[in-house]
Amino acid sequence: MEKSLLGLDRYKRKRWRKINLWPAFFIGPHLILFTLFFIIPSIFGVYVAFTKWNLFTTPKFVGLENFKIILFDKSSSFHSDFIKGLKNTILFVILSVPFCIFVPLLMAAGLYTKPKMKNLFQVIFYLPSIFTVSAVMIIWQYLLSVSYGILNNYFHFSINMLGTQPYAWISLVLVTVWWTIGGNMVIYLAALYGVPKDLLEAAELDGANAINKFFKVMLPNIKYPLLFTVVMTTIAQFNIYGQPLMLTGGGPYDSTRVLLMYIQQYAFGKGVSIAGMASAMAIMLGICIMIVSIFQFKLLKEKE
């Protein structure tokens, strides 16, 4: 009996020595930071949505009152601001996502043919995506501003692109597409290079031209990267904040003021903070993103 216990103890020690702790050594710091700065704040944010809190006093639990106000109380400014901000956010998603998907797809298809100076074009197309949102907005302000913009002062471009509609929305979509297409382009280009060559050769032997090969052979073979970029791009566009904040200021007449701008205003704006209401709006925005993402997955799966 004693020998068997010693043998078991020896086996456990040997097994412990075989455990590789290096993955935990590398993952641990990230996991700690992820927990401290994402998981814990997210859980606390959900709790705050059910409270009345101004960031300084003790949160007072009010249940679903914040959600009832922003969703159903038409006499409340919170409700009108939430609906207005959500409509503007959805409008931006509808306007920008198709361009952020199809423009980089066409660019990737063009680069796939290996034109002259392909590497140079690839760098040029990808370069804007490494800039921060503040740098991009400053660049485009110097281009589009009616008072000091290059287009107005040097080319006498008389349209107020940032202060009138529909040009303010056109400017926001244009800037966002220019800024973000590089990432999707690289994903599509890598996916296109992964399409089996024998399928393309078979299609060519059957008399398919370049357009038929792209739509009948290449596009079906990159459906999973396409699904990934559609969902991730939609999520990113729902979280729009920096572009309208720095480029149009939410104008003209709050027509480009998106939901995250209202959330920031209520949580950290001037005057008294209404963090509970801001958290409730943020949760509703997250629910909208989840619903849209699930719908996209199901729709594209059914098409598949």
SS3 258: coil
With pLDDT > 90 as the criterion, what percentage of the chain qualifies?
38
Q: pLDDT tens digits for 139-166?
A: 898 888 887 778 777 777 778 888 888 8
Do 195 and 218 touch, CB atoms closer than 8 A?
A: yes
For residue 3, pLDDT over 50 is answered with: no
Instruction: Looking at the structure, tell me whether residues 44 and 114 fall in a common domain.
Output: no
Check residues 202 and 79 and name the one with the higher pLDDT.
79
Tell me: do 138 and 6 sit in the same domain.
no
Residues 220 and 101 in one domain: yes
Residue 71 within a domain: no
Does 165 reside within a domain?
A: yes
Looking at the fold, whether 87 and 152 belong to one and the same domain comes out as yes
Q: Is 121 exposed, middle or buried (0-12, 13-18, 19+ CB in 10 A)?
A: middle
Pairwise CA distance, residues 246 & 141, whole Å: 9
Task: Give the domain range for residue 116.
Answer: 76-303
For the chain, the C-alpha Rg in angstroms (whole number) is 26
**Residues 80, 44 within the same domain:** no
Instruction: Identify whether 58 is part of a domain.
Output: no
- Pair (190, 42) in one structural domain: no
pLDDT tens for each residue of 240-293: 999 999 998 888 888 999 999 999 999 887 667 788 999 999 999 999 999 988
Same domain as 9, residue 154: no
In terms of domains, do 107 and 186 share one? yes
In this prediction, residue 304 has a pLDDT band, given cuts at 50, 70 and 90, of low
**DSSP letter, residue 75:** T
- C-alpha to C-alpha distance for 247 and 150, rounded to whole angstroms: 15
SS3 67: helix
CATH of the domain at 204: 1.10.3720.10
pLDDT on residue 238: 93
Q: How many domains is the chain built from?
A: 2
| pLDDT tens-digit map of 197-227 | 888 878 878 777 778 888 888 888 888 888 8
Residues 102, 250 share a domain:
yes
- State the DSSP code for 130: G
- Same domain for 41 and 173, yes or no, is no
Is the link from the previous residue into 29 a cis peptide, with omega within 30 of 0?
A: no
- Tell me, yes or no, whether 68 lies in a domain: no
How many angstroms separate the CA atoms of 243 and 256, rounded? 10
Structural domain includes residue 236: yes
pLDDT top residue among 112 and 280: 280
8 and 149: one domain?
no
Residue 33 inside a domain? The answer is yes
pLDDT of residue 263: 92
Do both 19 and 161 map to the same domain? no
